[in-house]
Chain A
Amino acid sequence: AQSVTQPDIHITVSEGASLELRCNYSYGATPYLFWYVQSPGQGLQLLLKYFSGDTLVQGIKGFEAEFKRSQSSFNLRKPSVHWSDAAEYFCAVNEAAGNKLTFGGGTRVLVKP
């Protein structure tokens, strides 16, 4: 069965600093990978997704993620964090031919002024 691990429960970063959120997945074949963001009291919004091709994918709000098959990872990055990036971030995986998205436990990001 597919699974997703986000090792960091909380991350605190200063505004303007870089951010990297880790995601590791467990799945036999090439997975479809997603990052979602949840602002307080809101539903989830898609940041970016990877299916195939270039392993570095660009998303909205200046985020990017890199797929590394050898490490079973799909880490999310942003070069310079803004206060509005304070939120909870979820990595998710979908089987290539499946209908179900499996989410990681989430990483809550706090941004210091």
Chain B
Amino acid sequence: NAGVTQTPKFRVLKTGQSMTLLCAQDMNHEYMYWYRQDPGMGLRLIHYSVGEGTTAKGEVPDGYNVSRLKKQNFLLGLESAAPSQTSVYFCASKRGSPTGELFFGEGSRLTVL
């Protein structure tokens, strides 16, 4: 009964370092999303995927890359981390319908020094 699992949950990076956040879901959902949450700004969509092998840009995609090689996994990469990318990152998934409920992971807190 895992749902959506994000790893790692916490990470501290230095400016310029790279890292990958992994999101895994076991609900066979078609759609997967990466959001970032910053105080007072709600959740902003970074990238999303509507199926295996597909990705699309969201509201704030700059500085991030994603891949969806397997249906159950959605990876978010930071090639050269910047302090502005300090945030809490949430992965979410849902069935392939506009009315479908989004299921969220517990978040990954990233600090870039």
Chain A residues with a Cβ under 8 A of chain B: 4, 6, 9, 32, 34, 36, 41-46, 49, 51, 90, 94-106
Contact = CB atoms under 8 A, between A and B. Distances in A.
Contacts of A32: 98-99
A43 B40 contact: no
Contacts of B43: 44, 90, 103
A102 B50 CA distance: 16
A91 B29 CA distance: 23
Given A43-B107, A103-B42, A105-B42, A98 B98 contact: yes
Q: Give the interface SS of chain B, mostly helix, strand, loop or mixed.
A: loop
10 contacts: A42-B107, A44-B102, A46-B101, A95-B98, A100-B33, A101-B33, A102-B59, A103-B44, A104-B42, A105-B42
Given A99-B50, A106-B42, A43 B101 contact: no
A105 B48 contact: no
A102 B43 CA distance: 8
Contacts of A97: 98
Interface residues of B, number: 24
B106 A42 contact: yes
Contact of B105 (A9, A43, A90): A43
B90 interface: yes
A27 to B, nearest CB: 12
Contacts of A96: 98
A90 B42 contact: yes
Interface in B36-90: 40-45, 48, 50, 58-59, 90
Contacts of B45: 100-102
Interface string B1-21: 000100000000000000000
Contact of A49 (B42, B44, B101, B107): B101
A41 B109 CA distance: 10
A49 B59 CA distance: 23
